[in-house]
């Protein structure tokens, strides 16, 4: 007997009960993004491997060990399933001359990302991000806008216990000065460092500050701080961001060890973290990346952005009462006999044409069993078509919830009769279809 096939480890099916919550969440998110003037962009899921190596950095967790890379079997091209969206978004903007040709861009995207990590709660191999990128903006205003918009989304979703951590990584030159001081400091503890630490001592010492190894916490806590190496401009930029946040009443904590796992960041970096999700508590992270456009071959442009982890945010949202915006049909159509079935098809299409949501019973069965299905569907009304109705070109309308007697109307009069019935029951107004609600019936 052949074994049943399973999804790849760390890659999840999202079944209808769950997917409906996702869609509700995505609807809210789309409205929120539009309210800040962000426009959608969609990039391929597969990109040339060098894009990520160049953008994210060779000595990072993602590039060193988390990428799904492969050779195209047909032409030998080196390809990678995208581990994040910023690199692709910037690549697309350069390729299509978005900023140089059309001015600064406020963009967003959403979709699956792939990283070969150890699967656990809140950490998957296929996960989803909603990413926001503002290309061509140099000032601290856009950094603040990004943080403010996150705070608004948490508010809209009713999330609690999400707090903001903030840091400045300065400029490349300032980081170089800090790096030298950091290496000199860490060299004293060379023997105490773990394998990752020793390996990164000279390649990416900043990342050592980010270590989760409990044995190294005292060492990294006392390490030289980047903030002591910031020049006037970086300092002023960072302070301006903080002024906007204070004006907006958004509390934050400056975390000197917040460095982010991707090399492209400079100046402002931030993370939104919660204590409610266990070890995987970062729900959103981002910052400024002024060098990336040039690094990927574009005309130099400042930029900033952030990405939210959808699985983690959804887990938090559900805890706060987030649920599906479940679609309930207005009408469920039951029928018995061949002629009735053909009339049922016409009746259901006519209703949809008039803006009602109608489910046509498929699969046969007795009237009784069909009525059970109608009830279970949550529909406000059952349309009943038997042999008599079919012969007369009429349909029966049977209210399933609320008052009203069963009536019989000609097919042509159906949409109007249904609208009368449903509009007269104000309590049921929630259940009307869009077209019916705006009166186009």
E strands in 96-229: 105-114, 126-135, 162-168
Does residue 285 belong to the site contacting ligand ATP (CB under 6 A)? yes
d(CA 344, CA 411): 10
With respect to ligand ATP, which residue has the nearer C-beta, 86 or 370? 86
Q: Tell me: does residue 133 bind ligand ATP (CB under 6 A).
A: no
Cβ 120 to ligand ATP shortest distance, Å? 9
- Considering beta carbons, is residue 49 or 282 the nearer one to ligand ATP? 282
Binds ligand ATP (CB under 6 A): choice among 54, 91, 106, 115: 115
Residue in 171, 173, 181 with CA at minimum distance from that of residue 268: 171
Among 80, 88, 110, 129, binds ligand ATP (CB under 6 A): 129
Angle at 332 between CA 327 and CA 335, to 5 degrees: 160
**Site mask, ligand ATP, residues 232-261, x = CB under 6 A?**
-----------------------------x
CB atoms within 10 A of CB 430: 9
User: Which residue, 168 or 370, has its beta carbon nearer to ligand ATP?
Assistant: 168
- Nearest alpha-carbon partner for 37 in 181, 145, 172, 156: 145
DSSP code of residue 408: E
Helix axes 232-247, 140-157, angle to 10 degrees: 30
**Residue 167 found at the interface with ligand ATP (CB under 6 A):** no
Asked if 200 touches ligand ATP (CB under 6 A), the answer is no
Span of 30-38, 117-125, 335-343, 415-423 interacting with ligand ATP by CB under 6 A: 117-125
Q: Does 277 bind ligand ATP (CB under 6 A)?
A: no
* Out of 24, 30, 116, 123, the residue judged to bind ligand ATP by CB under 6 A: 123
Return the residues of window 63-102 that contact ligand ATP according to CB under 6 A. 84
Nearer to ligand ATP, 163 or 280 (CB): 280
Closest by Cα among 20, 84, 31, 52 to 305: 84
Site residues for ligand ATP, 381-440, by CB under 6 A, read none
Applying the rule CB under 6 A, the residues between 134 and 163 that interact with ligand ATP are none
Residue nearest to ligand ATP (CB): 309
Q: Which residues contact 229 (CB under 8 A, 6 or more apart)?
A: 170, 174, 175, 177, 178, 181
Collect contacts of 40-43 with beta carbons under 8 A, ≥24 apart.
40/107, 40/108, 40/109, 41/89, 41/92, 41/107, 41/108, 41/109, 42/109, 42/111, 43/82, 43/85, 43/88, 43/89, 43/91, 43/92, 43/109
Placement of tokens 């970086």 in the chain: 234
Q: Which of 283, 333, 344, 436 binds ligand ATP (CB under 6 A)?
A: 283
Binding window for ligand ATP (CB under 6 A); candidates: 303-311, 323-331, 345-353, 384-392: 303-311
Q: Does 311 contact ligand ATP by CB under 6 A?
A: yes
Cβ atoms 261, 61 nearer than 8 A: yes
Residues that bind ligand ATP (CB under 6 A): 84, 115, 117, 122-124, 127, 129, 261, 280, 282-285, 307, 309, 311-312
């Amino acid at each position: 007997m052949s074994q049943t096939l399973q999804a790849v480890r760390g890659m999840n099916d999202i079944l209808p009960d769950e997917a409906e919550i996702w869609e509700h969440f995505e609807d809210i998110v789309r409205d929120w993004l539009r309210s800040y003037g962000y426009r959608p962009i969609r990039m391929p899921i597969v990109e040339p491997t060098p894009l990520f190596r160049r953008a994210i950095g060779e000595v990072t967790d993602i590039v060193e060990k988390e990428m799904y890379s492969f050779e195209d079997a047909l032409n030998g091209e080196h390809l990678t399933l995208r581990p994040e969206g910023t690199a692709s978004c910037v690549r697309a903007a350069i390729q299509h001359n978005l900023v140089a040709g059309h001015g600064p861009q406020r963009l967003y995207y959403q979709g699956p990302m792939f990283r070969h990590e150890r699967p656990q709660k809140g950490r998957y191999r296929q996960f989803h991000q909603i990413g926001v990128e503002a290309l061509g903006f140099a000032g601290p205003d856009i950094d603040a806008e990004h943080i403010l918009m996150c705070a608004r989304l948490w508010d809209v979703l009713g999330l609690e216990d999400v707090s903001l951590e903030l840091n400045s990584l300065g400029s490349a030159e300032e980081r170089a000065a800090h790096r030298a001081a950091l290496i000199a400091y860490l060299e004293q503890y060379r023997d105490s460092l773990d394998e990752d630490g020793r390996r990164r001592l000279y390649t990416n010492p900043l990342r050592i500050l980010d270590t989760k190894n409990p044995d190294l916490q005292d060492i990294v806590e006392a390490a030289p701080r980047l903030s002591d190496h910031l020049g006037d401009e970086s300092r002023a930029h960072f302070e301006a961001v903080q002024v906007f946040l204070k004006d907006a009443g958004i509390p934050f904590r400056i975390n000197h060890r917040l460095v982010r796992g991707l090399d492209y960041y400079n100046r402002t970096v931030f993370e939104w973290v919660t204590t409610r999700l266990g070890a995987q508590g970062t729900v959103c992270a981002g910052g400024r990346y002024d060098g990336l456009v040039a690094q990927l071959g574009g005309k130099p442009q400042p930029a900033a952005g952030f990405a939210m982890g959808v699985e983690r945010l959804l887990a938090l949202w559900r805890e706060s009462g987030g649920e599906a915006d479940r679609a309930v049909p207005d009408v469920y159509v039951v029928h018995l006999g061949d002629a009735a079935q053909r009339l049922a098809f016409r009746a259901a299409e006519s209703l949809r044409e008039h803006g009602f949501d109608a489910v046509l019973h498929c699969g046969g069965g007795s009237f009784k069993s069909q009525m059970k299905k109608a009830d279970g569907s949550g529909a406000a009304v059952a349309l009943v078509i038997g042999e008599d109705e079919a012969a007369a070109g009429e349909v029966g309308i049977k209210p399933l919830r609320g008052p009203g007697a069963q009536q019989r109307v000609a097919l042509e009069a159906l949409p109007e009769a249904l609208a009368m019935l449903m509009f007269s029951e104000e309590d049921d107004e929630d259940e009307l279809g869009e077209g019916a609600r705006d009166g186009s019936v």
